[in-house]
Structures are given as C-alpha cells and as structure tokens.
Amino acid sequence: MAAERRGPLAGLRVVEMAGLAPGPFAAMMLADMGAEVLRIDRPDPAARPIPQQYWFTDRNRRSIALDLKSADGAAFARRLIGSADALIEGFRPGVMERLGLGPDECLAINPRLVYGRMTGWGQEGPLAQAPGHDINYIALAGVLDAIGLADGPPVLPLNLVGDFGGGGMYLAFGLACGLIEAARSGQGQVVDAAMVDGAASLMTYFYGYMAGGKWPGRGRSTLGGAAPHYGVYETKDGKYVSVGSAEPKFYAELLRITGLDREPVPDRANPASWSELRERLAAVFRTRTRDEWSGLLESAEVCFAPVLDLREAAAHPHNVARRTFIEIDGHVQPAPAPRFSRTPSARPEAGVAPGVDARAALQGWGLPGEEVDALVARGVIS
C-alpha cells in the first residue's frame, strides 16, 4: 500500500480492532479521508461469506494479526496505541478491559488518545451486555415501526440505519469531534457510540412531528408512502420509477407531462382522494417503460429518478460524471464521500487479508524491520 496519505485527515494515526460492519465502516471513512489506519486482526479470523477482494469496507488499511489474549500481544497493542491519535473497538462492554486495553490503561500511556467504542446498546444500561443486531437496535429506537405500509408489518431498511448510519457514521463523526477537541486541549476521551443512540438521533425530525401532534404512524405520512405524489410506481417493463412531486409547482409539471392535467383529477390536498389519485398515476406509469419515463421526466421540474439496481446506479450518466463510483482492481464500489476542494482524498486501495502485510504495516508505523522480524519469530505477530 502506498505510504502517502492524502485527504483532510492525513497525518492522523488510528488503531482499529477488527470487527463487524459499523466499526470497519467508520475506519473506512477515516481512511478514505487520509488517516493512516492500522487494523489489528485475530490470528484465526472467522470465515467471511465472500472473498477478501470483495470486502470493500476493508479498503485503505494495513493489517497485522495479533493474539490480544496473550501478554505479549496485548503489550504490543498498547505500544501501537501509545503512538496513535485514535482507537476503534467494537467488542461488548468489558472485553477490552479484560484484555488490559481498556480506556484507563490506554489513556494512561497516551493521554491524547480518542478512544472510540462501537456497540449496539451502549456501554451501560439494562441491555448493555445483551446480544443484538441492527434489526434490534432500530426496533428499540422507534425507527423500525415507522417504516413500511400502513396495513403491513414494518419493513427492514437493510442494515443501513443501525450498522452504517446510526453506527459507523456516528462513530466516525464522534472520533472527528474528539480529535478536534484533543488538538485544542491536549487531552483524549472516550467516544461511546451506540447504534441505538445513533438510530434514535436519525429520527429527530420525526420525533418533532410526533411532539407537534402531526405524526400519523407507519405508512400514513407523505414521506412514509401514503401520498400518491411521493412514491414509487411500476412501469410497462416491470421496473420502477420514483416521484417526489411534493411542492405544487413540481406536481403541476408532473400532471402536465403525464397528461393527467387534460381532465379533472382527484384533489391531492384531500387524503381521502389519495387512493384514487394513486390508481390514476399508476395506470399512466404502466403505459411506458422505465427508460421512456426517464427520458421524459429525469431533467424536468418534477423531482423524479428511475429506480436503479446496483449495477445500473454505477453506470448512470450523472453518477459517472460525478465519479460517485470508482473501480478498484476491477471492482466497482462507491467512492469516498464527502469531497474536499483543497485536500481531496487519494484514490482508495483494495483491502488486504488479515495480517498479510504486517511487515509493511509496522514499518509504516515506525518499527525497524529487524524488530518486526523478531516479533514474528517470537510468535507475537502471525
């Protein structure tokens, strides 16, 4: 992996304790922005459902395989942490403490360290030690009940809200905030990022509607799919388009282009008319293919976009022009985001298998080659 790091976080060093989903995603975000992230993997990592070259959230990082349960392994981890700016760990509360790598130990050797903790339920509370997954965290935060049709069960939004939105992104944000504060004060601190907290935070807008007496419940709001002018419609070829004509001017243009303005249509201001209006719109959208509707509506003042699958999204002209997706070693994946005018991120490099580049990783961290060889010979590093 190239030694040069570019981006707004270039010069920062982060130790990442290998984990699942949200922790690696946060580490990817920091690495995409230029931070030098060193991942500490287990000597016997669990098997993954897809080969390493497709594990895109591992990109831009080096890896060493270290047995943290051994005294030598934990001691060496403390040495690395002593020269880091931040740490990411995603174990259950108490695990890092039992390894001798808890916040007290790490901040004692590195007072400026920003210690990032990623869990589902948080570091304390009645459920802190309970197992869980994304679905459970967003359920408890009030998110899951809000998504889906009014007459159906809640719908899972993949694991975007808990693992990645409420988890990894909030951890990355918390670490960035902690690093800014540490630069001012010279003191580190613990960042307690819980997916249930982050998922709840993402719902702030809707909790405001509830407080104001305007939250109608799952599937009954405009943004929840109740309004016919804000929804998804099937096209002639069995594909789908999205319409977001919430404002009057956009809705008027939608009626004009679809031809529905040539005859009386139900009043969209009256929710009692929404069912009939939806049927009228559905019938119109079934008269053309998705791509035909895209040709008519994509650049119009309507608020429209075709519903694309993953491959189609990467090939769409707008995403191509924006370089929203990039190709690394022949594999298409989302590009680093957001973008910076003066300190742009470098092109990401593919992730590596656990421990595969330990020598380069540790030499990049400042350890001489002969010391690395000695650590390998002693079995501290696999």
pLDDT for res 2: 45
Higher per-residue pLDDT: 44 or 274: 274
pLDDT for res 1: 43
Round to the nearest angstrom and report the end-to-end CA distance of the chain: 19
Active-site hit among 72, 133, 316, 357: 133
How much is the average pLDDT of 316-330?
A: 96
Does the structure show a pLDDT above 50 at 235?
yes
Both tokens of 132, joined, read: 């869980």
| Cβ proximity of 343 and 53 under 8 Å | no
Q: What is the CA radius of gyration of the chain?
A: 25
Cβ-based neighbours of 42, under 8 Å, separated by 6 or more? 18, 65, 66, 67, 68, 354
Least confident of 112-116, 219-223, 243-247, 360-364: 360-364
**pLDDT, tens digit, 9 for 90 and up, residues 56-66:** 999 999 999 99
How much is the average pLDDT of 374-379?
A: 84
Q: Model confidence at 371, in pLDDT bands (50, 70, 90)? A: confident
How much is the average pLDDT of 365-378?
A: 84
Q: Is 318 a catalytic residue?
A: no
How much is the average pLDDT of 197-223?
A: 96
Does the structure show a pLDDT above 60 at 325?
yes
| Cβ proximity of 105 and 78 under 8 Å | yes
Closest CA relative to residue 362, chosen from 15, 8, 10: 15
Does the structure show a pLDDT above 70 at 73?
yes
Q: Is 133 a catalytic residue?
A: yes
Beta strands in the chain (DSSP E): 13-17, 36-41, 61-65, 86-89, 114-119, 189-194, 230-234, 240-244, 304-306, 325-328, 331-334
pLDDT for res 382: 78
pLDDT for res 49: 85
Q: What is the DSSP letter of 367?
A: -
Collapse the DSSP code of 234 into the 3-class scheme (helix H, G, I; strand E, B; otherwise coil) and give the result. strand
What single letter denotes the amino acid at residue 315? Answer: A
Does the structure show a pLDDT above 50 at 253?
yes
Q: Model confidence at 188, in pLDDT bands (50, 70, 90)? A: very high
Phi then psi dihedrals of residue 324, to 5 deg: -65, -30
Q: What is the DSSP letter of 164?
A: I
pLDDT for res 166: 98
How much is the average pLDDT of 61-76?
A: 92
Does the structure show a pLDDT above 80 at 109?
yes
How much is the average pLDDT of 181-205?
A: 98
Collapse the DSSP code of 359 into the 3-class scheme (helix H, G, I; strand E, B; otherwise coil) and give the result. helix
How many helices (H) and strands (E) are present in the chain, helices listed first? 15, 11
Q: Model confidence at 25, in pLDDT bands (50, 70, 90)? A: very high
Closest CA relative to residue 53, chosen from 329, 360, 357, 315: 329
How much is the average pLDDT of 347-372?
A: 87
How much is the average pLDDT of 354-373?
A: 85
Query: Residue 192 pairs with which residues in a beta bridge?
Result: 117
Domains of the chain, CATH where assigned: 13-202+326-377 (3.40.50.10540), 230-321 (3.30.1540.10)
Active-site hit among 163, 192, 197, 229: 163
Does the structure show a pLDDT above 50 at 157?
yes
Q: Model confidence at 376, in pLDDT bands (50, 70, 90)? A: confident
How much is the average pLDDT of 277-300?
A: 97
DSSP 13-45: EEEEE--STHHHHHHHHHHHTT-EEEEEE-SSP
Both tokens of 316, joined, read: 């769409």
**pLDDT cut 70: percent of the chain above it:** 99
Query: Residue 156 pairs with which residues in a beta bridge?
Result: none
How much is the average pLDDT of 329-338?
A: 96
Q: Model confidence at 5, in pLDDT bands (50, 70, 90)? A: confident
Does the structure show a pLDDT above 70 at 3?
no
Higher per-residue pLDDT: 290 or 365: 290
Return the axis-axis angle of helices 195-202 and 170-185, rounded to nearest 10°: 100
